[in-house]
């Protein structure tokens, strides 16, 4: 059965779960700061199915701590902040000034760039996905957890065509990145079994 990660109860509930995972008090305080920063920048943004955007950010933290056992505070802060440059007016330099160079570097790795001059959005996205193959291990952990949160309830996305394209992109570009991470490799294998039906109009998709 596919393991699903929940954070709908908000940061205070997730924080209590991290306390039980023996995350140090000073690290929790650092995460408090990152969550406050992300909430301020993402404001009233929502996900495609309507849930508050911060719920996605907290799910990524839960994956890293509860499934993978990550306790590196910079990785966890980057998880909270991973979309703040891509999806808000926040600049990478704002992240660097507030949280340090290592967090900023991790956020930069998982931020999709705007298309350069003469480049289409599709070309920019393809280049970003290709670049992930050379991502440092910590950045890759954040990305794998990010995509997990995005696809664990793929059937709630309101647009069927987006469900199909996101499924196929995940299979083609993200699943290969799991090979050195046994837990993620198994989770994504289970996910493909659970959600292969979203690509039924492409008979070859489920067997790739």
> Cα separation of 145 and 61, whole Å?
8
Kindly name the residue from 33, 87, 138, 169 that is annotated as catalytic: 87
- Whether 66 is catalytic: no
> Cα separation of 124 and 109, whole Å?
14
Kindly name the residue from 33, 86, 108, 138 that is annotated as catalytic: 86
CB proximity list for 7: less than 8 A, separation 6 or greater: 13, 14, 55, 56, 58, 59, 61, 62
CA 131 to chain CA centroid, nearest Å: 16
Considering all CA atoms of the chain, what is the largest pairwise distance in Å, rounded to the nearest integer?
Answer: 51
Residue 136: closest CA among 180, 173, 168, 95: 180
- Whether 27 is catalytic: no
Burial (Cβ within 10 Å: 0-12, 13-18, ≥19) of residue 124: middle
CB proximity list for 41: less than 8 A, separation 6 or greater: 84, 88, 89, 90
Residue matched to tokens 């350069």: 116
Catalytic residue numbers, as ranges: 86-87
């Amino acid at each position: 059965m596919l393991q699903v990660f929940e954070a709908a109860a908000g940061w205070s509930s997730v924080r209590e779960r991290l306390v039980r995972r023996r995350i140090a008090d000073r690290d929790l305080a650092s995460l408090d700061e990152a969550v406050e920063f992300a909430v301020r920048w993402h404001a009233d943004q929502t996900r495609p199915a309507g849930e508050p955007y911060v719920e996605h950010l907290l799910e990524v933290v839960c994956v890293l701590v509860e499934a993978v056992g990550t306790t590196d505070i910079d990785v966890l802060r980057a998880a909270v902040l991973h979309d703040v440059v891509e999806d808000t007016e926040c600049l990478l330099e704002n992240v660097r000034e507030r949280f340090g160079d290592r967090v900023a570097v991790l956020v930069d790795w998982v931020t999709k760039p705007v298309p350069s001059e003469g480049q289409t959005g599709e070309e920019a996205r393809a280049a970003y996905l290709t670049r992930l193959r050379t991502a440092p291990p910590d950045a890759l952990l954040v990305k794998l957890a990010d995509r997990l949160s995005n696809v664990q309830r793929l059937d709630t996305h309101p647009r069927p065509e987006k469900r199909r394209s996101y499924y196929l992109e995940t299979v083609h570009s993200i699943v290969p990145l799991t090979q050195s991470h046994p837990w993620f490799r198994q989770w994504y294998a289970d996910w493909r079994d659970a959600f292969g039906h979203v690509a039924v109009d492409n008979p070859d998709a489920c067997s790739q």
